Amino acid sequence: MFKKIVLQKGVNLYIRKTEQFKTITMSIKWISELDAKQAAHRAVLSNVLQDSNAEYPQQSELRKALDELYGTVFYLDAGKRDNTHIISLNMECVNDEYLSTDGVFDDALKMIQTVIFKPNFKDGSFDESIVRREKRTVIERIRSIYDDKARYAHKRMFDLMRPNTPASISANGTEEDVESITSATLLDTYENMLKNDAVDIYIVGDVKRKN
């Protein structure tokens, strides 16, 4: 059972204290109205934020830092629910109670803060080479649906039955919208997400909480 704590308007924290697991799982969800063009931008943004940041400008450096935190798991993804688009940042780390040293949870929180607020900028915007690479990744993800008959049939059904509605919009947008993304438009999406999205934060594990 989650306990809900309203941190501020539009930002909610949900905590489930349990001794069932030896890890602590955290998930931050940015929730916005579903729109095909913005879905494409947000899908690419989640990939770019996962790739690297100002403190770890190379993907290999970020992965090494995660390994040093006893194999902490970290990833972002983009999805949709009803008429909303959701970017999720997920992290799972070992509970300090099971280690001979402490500080892993605190370091994981610091890493989350870095990922969110200190992106890997170049000349005041996202690195164009990373943006191009992650655009290709999202386009490949969009195209992969044509290799899965069940997923493609499901998509076509909604395209025909509910055209131009959230039901027919992919969480990754369209190839055309992904192709149109630039570092500047991606920066606008990032700033808009931080400023205007509703935010839900989930923490599950043996953690202390205020009553």
* Tokens linked to 19: 């001794």
Q: What is the pLDDT of residue 152?
A: 58
- Look at strands 198-205 and 11-17 and give their pairing: parallel
Cα–Cα distance for residue pair 108/26, rounded to 1 Å: 10
Give domain 3-205's CATH number out of 3.40.640.10, 3.30.830.10, 1.20.58.100, 1.20.120.550: 3.30.830.10
Q: What is the pLDDT of residue 97?
A: 83
Is 191 buried (19+), middle (13-18) or exposed (0-12) by CB count in 10 A?
exposed
Could you read off the pLDDT of 28-51 as tens digits, one per residue?
999 999 999 999 999 999 999 999
Q: What single letter denotes the amino acid at residue 118? A: K
Sequence-separated (6 or more) residues with CB below 8 Å from residue 208: 17
Number of H helices, E strands in the chain: 7, 8
Q: What is the pLDDT of residue 96?
A: 85
The three state secondary structure string of 136-191 is: HHHHHHHHHHHHCHHHHHHHHHHHHHCCCCHHHCCCCCCHHHHHCCCHHHHHHHHH
pTM: 0.90
Cβ atoms of residues 199 and 30 within 8 Å: yes
Sequence-separated (6 or more) residues with CB below 8 Å from residue 58: 52
DSSP SS3 for 104: helix
Q: State the maximum Cα–Cα separation within the chain, in Å, rounded to a whole number.
A: 58
Q: What is the DSSP string of 20-43?
A: S-SEEEEEEEEEEE--HHHHHHHH
Going by pLDDT thresholds of 50, 70 and 90, the confidence category of residue 180 is very high
Could you read off the pLDDT of 71-113 as tens digits, one per residue?
999 999 999 998 999 999 999 999 988 887 778 999 999 999 9
DSSP SS3 for 100: coil
Give the start-to-end residue ranges of the domains of the chain.
Answer: 3-205
